[in-house]
Structure 1
Amino acid sequence: MLTKLPVKILLAALIMLVGYSGSAAYDIWTYAKTTELVKADAAIVLGTAVWGDEPSPVLRERINHSIWLYENDYVEKIIFTGGKTNGSELAEAAVSKAYAISQGIPLEDILTEDRSLVTIENFRYVSEIAELHELANFLVVSDPLHMKRALQMAEDTGFEAYSSPTTSSEYNSAATIIPFFCREIGAYVAYGLSIGD
């Protein structure tokens, strides 16, 4: 009887994990459609890969969306996030800033945090910028399938944050959506388990 107990515990844990993952998948997929077009102090653009001194196609769409928010008076400032990842020489935030300036966004309305390497750090470091510049509420910009985890992290960090996913994305086919979706499920579950400790 005692030798079977650990197996039962492992099986129960596995069933719970599968159930939690299924619930997470549903939440991520349905939340991806959530767009909250409210006026806010700033847009927080979550960083992702850069290609040399240019934003990757995924990052470019995030920047373009934040520019749209700015030009349509939904935000007064844009905060670009992201440090040097994947061996890049330039920080994601710096590349994003240069691109936005080239598109006509005034330098004085751009803020950057260039230390973060993962999403939760985006918000932790932006909180310092928000306090310094007295910014109170934010539109969070990322790809639709990233929004559930991003908004959860923003709220856990203490932000008044609203979802503003990109309206176009490089994740636009089964070959690109499925791997990204699976990664997000894993990351969301891992984050949920870590804050439950």
Structure 2
Amino acid sequence: MVARGLMTRTVGAGFLAAVLLVVSTALAIWYTARQDARPPSDAIVVLGSAQYNGVPSSIFEARLEHARALYEQGVAPVIVTVGGKAAGDQFTEAEAGRDYLAATGVPAEALLPVEQGVDTLESMRVVAAAFAERGWESAVLVTDPWHAMRAERMAEDAGMDADSSPTRQGPAVQTRATQFRYILRETAAYLLYRVTGESVAGAPGIG
């Protein structure tokens, strides 16, 4: 009976610890989503999202517009667009982002497409390599609010000094139900990364 009671308490403590970990992570994601850090940096990095024949999706467009605003405010002299392409696509996410920004008047010399990355982790690693080649260190990441904490963590693990300035527009922030769903998915994705060091495929901005 003593052993059974000890096992019950151990299982209960483990369950409580797991619940607390999930809740604290979700709260940290919520808190980070409400921050907006935009210190002078080497580059603004726009995390890729879906594009359709070279046209950014509404999620991607919101990120690109926010990055353009940061550039115009003098946060950094370069905007890095990052992201590869799916099978059958003619354009990479990085190309679509670069072309969109160029069409809005951002000079070509201020745009650097990094045409690799199928998820956040790979994207941060290839961007970190591009930074190292140019002697850059600091970045302001532009992505959806709920994605910011994981993107920052992955960027820092890849060797960058990263802050985030999340978008405040677009489908990811339209309704409370949408926000709650994204927070749940990001909580799972962040914890998976911390445990395994790997990313997870999912909706735009989740992988």
Q: TM-score, normalization: structure 1?
A: 0.89
In the other structure, the counterpart of 1:118 is: 119
CA distance in 2, matches of 1:12, 1:157: 34
Q: Provide Cα deviations, 1:61-111, integer angstroms capped at 9, x if missing partner.
A: 111111111111111001101111476432111110110111111111111
Counterpart of 1:56, as a letter, is S
Cα offset, 1:12, TM superposition: 4.9
- 1:139·1:164 contact (CA, 8 Å) conserved in 2? yes
CA distance in 1, matches of 2:43, 2:189: 26
In the other structure, the counterpart of 2:179 is: 177
Structure 1 stretches lacking a partner, 5+ long: none
Structure 2 stretches lacking a partner, 5+ long: 198-207
- Please list, as runs of the form range in 1=range in 2, the aligned pairs for 1:12-51 lying within 5 A after superposition: 12-51=13-52
2:190 to 151, 168, 188: 188
My pick for the range that moved more, 168-177 or 181-190, is: 168-177
- 1:49·1:85 contact (CA, 8 Å) conserved in 2? no
In the other structure, the counterpart of 2:141 is: 140
Q: Identity percentage over the alignment?
A: 31
- 2:47·2:141 contact (CA, 8 Å) conserved in 1? yes
Counterpart of 2:181, as a letter, is P
In the other structure, the counterpart of 1:67 is: 68
Q: Provide Cα deviations, 1:95-147, integer angstroms capped at 9, x if missing partner.
A: 10110111111111111211201111111001111122222211111111111
Q: TM-score, normalization: structure 2?
A: 0.85
CA distance in 1, matches of 2:23, 2:168: 26
In the other structure, the counterpart of 1:82 is: 83
Distance 1:15 1:130, change over 3 A: same
In the other structure, the counterpart of 2:54 is: 53
My pick for the range that moved more, 12-21 or 51-60, is: 12-21
- 2:128·2:155 contact (CA, 8 Å) conserved in 1? no
The RMSD of aligned alpha carbons is 2.3
Counterpart of 2:183, as a letter, is F
My pick for the range that moved more, 42-51 or 77-86, is: 77-86
